[in-house]
Amino acid sequence: MSIEKSWKLLNEMSFERQGGTQQELEACLLIQDYLKDLGLESQIEEFEVEMNTVEKAELRVLKPYMKTYECTGYKGCISTPDEGIVKKFCYFEQDHPVMLKRAQDAIVMVNGYVGLKGFKTLVKGNPAGFISFSGNIDESREQTDLDVREFRTQLHEVKELPGVHVKVHDAMEMVELGAEEVQLTVKGTKQTGVSRNLVCEIAGKSDEIVVCTAHYDSVPFSKGAYDNATGSVCLYEMAEYFAKHKPERTIRLVWCGSEERGLLGSKAYVKAHEDELDKTVLCVNIDMIGSTMGKRIAVCTSEMDFVHYIDYDAKLKGFPIAVSQGVYSSDSTPFADKNVPAVSFARITAQGTGVIHNRHDVMEHLSKRMLKEDMDYIVKFTEQLANGVICPVKKEMPENMRKELNDYLGISEKK
């Protein structure tokens, strides 16, 4: 397989393309044009997404010193009164009874990312609002982007809270200087927008379907070359290969929109195509490959036999990859939740050799040779399972995987 067209597409896709924006649509149309050049038809499937805006976000320390810190408000979070809320400040270090006591009716600063599990822990302390932070203290303030964060749907279902986001430098200063009382103001509006999945099908002789997924959106400030234009061009490579080598099973390629906003594209796909999931035998997901340095991994949300199969297959072919069973935080997960066995392929960067979710996710940190090696293996692996007399992977979810899926998705009851 030639790498040149895929590398060209990777370069052309390397621009900010946040889910639900015009830039995401431009990336979708770009991929569609490349498919047309292969003589392949594709369909754009639209789905609704929240496109919330923040009109005002302020964070002030009132005691024991006075200072206003630059911040961004969480899109979609509950608004404060116009004058904001004034509360005691609490640095919420960890899930601990002492911390939960201190968090009562306070504006709490959490360590980094506000995910579902951590948010559920936090609200046990009944805080009045929250502050998150990101960045690297060893980089200058000017090198650090002030992230734009989103209060996702799953958090709304737990508790409505106002929240802001600051740079790590300011978070550390607030803690070091002993902030005691803060004023937090967030005012925003909620709207509905449109994101899109791009679907290209290469029909096989069987009505069974192997779905191959990769998200093509990025986060704010990021060109998203590694995360996940690389996965997107791997799907393009699959399109080119299977257009010339017709598979026994149908190959359905799905470029998912708004993955970075909570797997919204893959969730929309499984909802829209629920009647086809019975004949969907496998999901192959690609999310971040081609890094110059790093390690290859495959995470199977499936029975353990599938883990062993990939491990043996890769060893026979001389492809170094660590295979494990688990839930990978990407577009494979909504399929696994519907009992479609799934595997996610990635090449995780070595420390200091590449990062995601910021301005430094660029093509210069990627390797054409490594990308080709990754794509060659993934395409041939998919071909084996698409052309097998039967697909040997069981269409059932082991109990340990069902529990892990429920924990990840915030589902308390068994399905």
Q: Band of the pLDDT at 154, cuts 50, 70, 90?
A: confident
**Same topology between domain 4-51+193-409 and domain 53-189:** no
H-state helical runs in 112-187: 116-123, 153-156, 168-176
* Three-state SS sequence of 214-255: EECCECCCCCCHHHHHHHHHHHHHHHHHHHHCCCCCEEEEEE
Cβ–Cβ < 8 Å for 283, 335: yes
pTM: 0.93
Q: How far apart are CA 25 and CA 227, in angstroms?
A: 17
Of the listed ranges 7-16, 142-151, 299-308, 316-325, the one predicted with least confidence: 142-151
DSSP 413: S
CA-CA-CA-CA torsion sign (232, 236, 241, 243): positive
Q: How far apart are CA 230 and CA 286, in angstroms?
A: 8
Q: CA angle at residue 342 from 340 to 345, to 5 degrees?
A: 165
Mean pLDDT, residues 47-65: 97
Which CATH class for the 53-189 domain?
Answer: alpha beta
CA atoms within 13 A on the CB side of 227: 23
Cβ–Cβ < 8 Å for 188, 54: yes
Q: How far apart are CA 346 and CA 356, in angstroms?
A: 13
For the chain, the structural domain boundaries read 4-51+193-409, 53-189
286-306 per-position pLDDT tens digit: 999 999 999 999 999 999 999
pLDDT score recorded for residue 412: 55
278 pLDDT more than 70: yes
* Buried-exposed string 357-367: b where 16+ CB fall within 10 A, e elsewhere: bbebbebebbe
Which CATH class for the 4-51+193-409 domain?
Answer: alpha beta
> What number of residues does the chain have?
415
413 pLDDT more than 70: no
What three-state secondary structure class fits 361? Answer: coil
- 352 class by beta-carbon count within 10 Å (0-12 exposed, 13-18 middle, 19+ buried): exposed
Residue 304 in tokens: 């353990």
Q: How far apart are CA 39 and CA 331, in angstroms?
A: 27
- What percent of the chain shows pLDDT beyond 70? 99
DSSP 278: G
**Which residue is it, tokens 């269409």?**
395
294-301 and 342-349 beta bridge pairing: antiparallel
Q: Band of the pLDDT at 113, cuts 50, 70, 90?
A: confident
CA atoms within 13 A on the CB side of 124: 15
Q: How far apart are CA 278 and CA 270, in angstroms?
A: 11
Q: How far apart are CA 374 and CA 231, in angstroms?
A: 10
pLDDT score recorded for residue 415: 30
